[in-house]
Amino acid sequence: MKKLFIVLLSVWLATFILAGSPAGVFAQKVLKLGETHPQDYPTTKGDYEFARLVKERSNGKMVVEVYHNKQLGEEKAVIEQVQLGAIDFTRVSISPVSAFVRDLDAFQLPYLYRDATHMWKVLNGPIGQEIFKKLEASNFIGLGWFEAGSRNFYTKKQVKTVADLKGMKIRVQQAPLMVGLVEALGAVATPLAFGEVYSALQTGVIDGAENNWPSYLSTSHYEVAKFFITDEHTRVPEIMIASKKVFDKLSKEEQTTIKKAMQDAQPYQIKLWNEFEKVAEKTVREKGNTITEVTSQEKQKFMDAMKPLYDKQPPEIIAVVNRIRAVK
C-alpha cells in the first residue's frame, strides 16, 4: 500500500509540475496505465505500442505512462482505482471485470469458441461493442481487446484425466464463473491474486493453477508446478479499460485518438502473443517439465464435465452464449 501511494504521489507531482509549466513547452496531458505483467510480456508490449501511438498521433499532447509489473497494485485494486478516476487506464483479464458486466461470464465459459478466429469476430463485432456500452454504467470506457491464448491446468503432480483433478486445490481468478469451472471438474477452487500464486504453489497452499503458456513461463510457475496438461479449457481475452471520469473530460478529438490507437495496437499485440506463445511452450519443454497432451477422447470428457456449469447459467447468459455460437 505504501509503495502504491509513493508511485501515485510521484505521478501526481509530475502532472502538477507539467501543468504549471509554460504553455507550448510542456502542454501535455500525462495519463497513467496500470499493468500487472512484466515489461517484456507481449501484453505489456501491446500497452507500450498503444502509448506510442497516442503520443505520436496527438503530437505529444497526450502521454501515456505504462506502469508494468504491478507497480500500481494488483489487478482488482487497479480496476477500483480506474473506476474512481485515480488511474486512467488498465489492461486486465475480463474475469474481474465480469463483476460489473455479467454478460462477460458468457465470454469465459469453457469450450465456447470454435477457435481464435471465431473469438475475434465476436470481440471486434457487435457483441463486443455492446459490452463496452454496458461498462459505462460502472464508470469504465472499453477501448479494446488483447489476446491471452488458451488456458490450461498446471499442477504439482501429474494430471492425465478429469478424474485426476478431483480434490486438488486449484487457484482461480477472483470471479464466480472461474470458481464454478474448476468445481465442475471436481477440484477445489481457490481464488487468489495473481501475484500470490508462486508462493502458494511453493508452500502447498494450492496444488495447481491454470493459465496460458506465456504466463506459466514468465511467472516462473513452471519451477514449482512442473506438470502441464493441454486441456485448453477456456479462452479468456484481455480488455483495455479507461476511467469514464477521465475520458469524459477529454476532447472528442483526444477520445478518438485514444480509441484508434488501441484499435491499431491490437494486431501488433496479437502477433507478439502468437510468437511468444510458441517460444514459451518450447522453452518449458526444453526445461524438462512434464507436458500431458490431451487426446480428443479425453478432451470430450472435459467438455462433458462442463455441461452442469452451462446448466447453472441464468437465461440471460445462455442468450449471450447462443449469440456467440451463432457468429460465423
Number of domains in the chain: 2
Residue 171 has what pLDDT? 98
Does 108 map to a domain?
yes
Mean pLDDT of 51-79: 98
Task: Give dist(CA 32, CA 20) in Å, integer.
Answer: 19
With beta carbons less than 8 A apart as the criterion, state whether 106 and 317 touch.
Answer: yes
| 59 and 126 co-located in one domain | yes
Residue 144 in domain: yes
Supply the pTM of this predicted model: 0.88
103 and 21 in a single domain? The answer is yes
Question: Does residue 33 fall inside a structural domain?
Answer: yes
226 and 240 fall within a common domain = no
* CB-based contacts of 160-169 (< 8 A; 24+ apart in sequence): 160/229, 160/292, 160/298, 161/298, 161/301, 162/186, 162/298, 162/301, 162/302, 162/305, 168/207, 168/208, 169/205, 169/206, 169/207, 169/208
Amino acid letter, residue 30: V
Average pLDDT, the chain: 94
Residue 27, pLDDT score: 72
- In this structure, the answer to whether residues 213 and 270 fall within a common structural domain is no
Q: Is residue 328 part of a domain?
A: no
Mean pLDDT of all residues in 269-287: 98
**315 vs 198: CA distance, rounded Å:** 37
Distance, in Å, from the CA atom of 142 to the CA atom of 132, rounded to the nearest integer, reads 5
Same domain, 262 and 229: no
Cα-based torsion angle of the residue sequence 246, 248, 252, 253 in order, rounded to the nearest 10 degrees: 0
**Parallel, antiparallel, or unpaired for β 238-243 and 62-67?**
unpaired
> What is the tens place of the pLDDT at every residue in 1-57?
555 555 555 555 555 444 444 444 457 999 999 999 999 999 999 999 999 999 999
Q: State pLDDT tens for residues 168-184.
A: 999 998 889 999 999 99
Alpha-helix residue ranges (DSSP H) falling in the chain: 2-19, 42-57, 75-84, 94-97, 104-108, 116-123, 126-135, 176-184, 197-203, 213-218, 244-247, 252-286, 296-305, 307-311, 315-326
Given this model, what pLDDT does residue 175 score? 86
pLDDT value for 174: 85
Same domain as 106, residue 32: yes
223 is in which domain, residue-wise? 150-235+289-319
What's the confidence (pLDDT) of residue 48? 99
Q: Is the residue at 251 inside a domain? A: yes
Three-class SS state of 116:
helix
pLDDT for 208 equals 99
**Do 71 and 192 fall within a single domain?**
no
Please report whether residue 326 resides in a domain. Answer: no
Do 119 and 203 belong together in one domain? no
Residue-wise pLDDT tens digits, 78-136: 999 999 999 999 999 999 999 999 999 999 999 999 999 999 999 999 999 999 999 99
Same domain, 23 and 133: yes
Same domain, 45 and 142: yes
Residue 213: which CATH number? 3.40.190.170
| Eight-class DSSP state of 114 | S
